[in-house]
């Protein structure tokens, strides 16, 4: 059976994980797996009234991500590399932010049953950015269901992500601060990131360029 090398790109809403995953898949001739967040029928209602719609939204995401992750276990003979714009564990981060204590108990019971069957990434790339950069990116892409998203929500989400990956040990981890780079439109920035991925990565590597985005 052919080994499938699995890279998961993660980060807070608006950081550019889908854009980066798409670029990686093109440059590395990898199979691309994108999260189907737009199929969640509760998502727009959640951003308007999170207290009312948080549990429905989270449970739908959990089951949807679980089904998609099981598909990753099917070996693709035409690709030796797989790139995804999320990892299954992200669902827990959102759950702890959005659910109350009773809802979280039920959520965790379901999640613990499902996660046993989910494949683990061989490498996780965690993209970071400042709140200002994240809010600007969210505004620029102009998704209707994100227009009610608050700065406070993004800051809380960033804190949860940072705390999670500070303790993350399940696989090699590459943390990239993207606040002052633009890997979508600047080829030099992109090439530097691609060069990082050509080197063996073990443990945790933190990449924080100091030049300004162009």
Structure tokens at 13: 């809403």
Q: Measuring CA to CA, which residue among 34, 60, 36 is closest to residue 46?
A: 60
Q: Measuring CA to CA, which residue among 209, 136, 148 is closest to residue 175?
A: 209
d(CA 177, CA 171): 19
Q: In the chain, how long is the greatest CA-to-CA distance?
A: 49
Sheet hosting strand 5-11, strand order edge to edge: 31-33, 81-84, 5-11, 123-128, 173-177, 204-207
85 in active site: yes
Q: Find out whether 133 and 17 touch, Cβ atoms under 8 Å.
A: no
Q: Find out whether 82 and 24 touch, Cβ atoms under 8 Å.
A: no
Catalytic residue among 49, 85, 91, 189: 85
Q: Measuring CA to CA, which residue among 68, 94, 76 is closest to residue 158?
A: 94
d(CA 84, CA 62): 16
**Inter-CA distances, 140 with 27, 116, 157, Å:** 25, 38, 19
Kindly list the catalytic residues. Answer: 85
């Amino acid at each position: 059976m052919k080994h499938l090398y699995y890279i998961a790109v993660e980060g807070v809403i608006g950081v550019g994980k889908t854009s980066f995953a798409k670029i990686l898949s093109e440059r590395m001739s990898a199979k691309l797996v994108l999260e189907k967040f737009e199929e969640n029928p509760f998502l727009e209602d959640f951003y308007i009234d999170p207290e009312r719609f948080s549990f429905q939204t989270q449970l739908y995401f959990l089951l949807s991500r679980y089904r998609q992750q099981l598909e990753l276990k099917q070996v693709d003979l035409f690709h030796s590399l797989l790139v995804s714009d999320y990892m299954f564990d992200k669902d827990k981060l959102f759950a702890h932010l959005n659910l109350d204590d009773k809802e979280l108990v039920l959520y965790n019971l379901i999640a613990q049953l499902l996660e046993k069957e989910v494949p683990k990434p061989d490498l996780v790339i965690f993209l970071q950015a400042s709140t200002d950069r994240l809010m600007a990116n969210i505004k620029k892409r102009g998704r209707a269901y994100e227009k009610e998203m608050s700065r406070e929500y993004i800051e809380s989400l960033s804190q949860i992500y940072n705390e999670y990956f500070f303790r993350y040990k399940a696989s090699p981890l590459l943390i990239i601060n993207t606040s002052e780079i633009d890997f979508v439109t600047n080829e030099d920035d992109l090439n530097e990131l691609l060069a990082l991925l050509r080197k063996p990565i073990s443990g945790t590597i933190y990449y924080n360029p100091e030049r300004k985005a162009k």
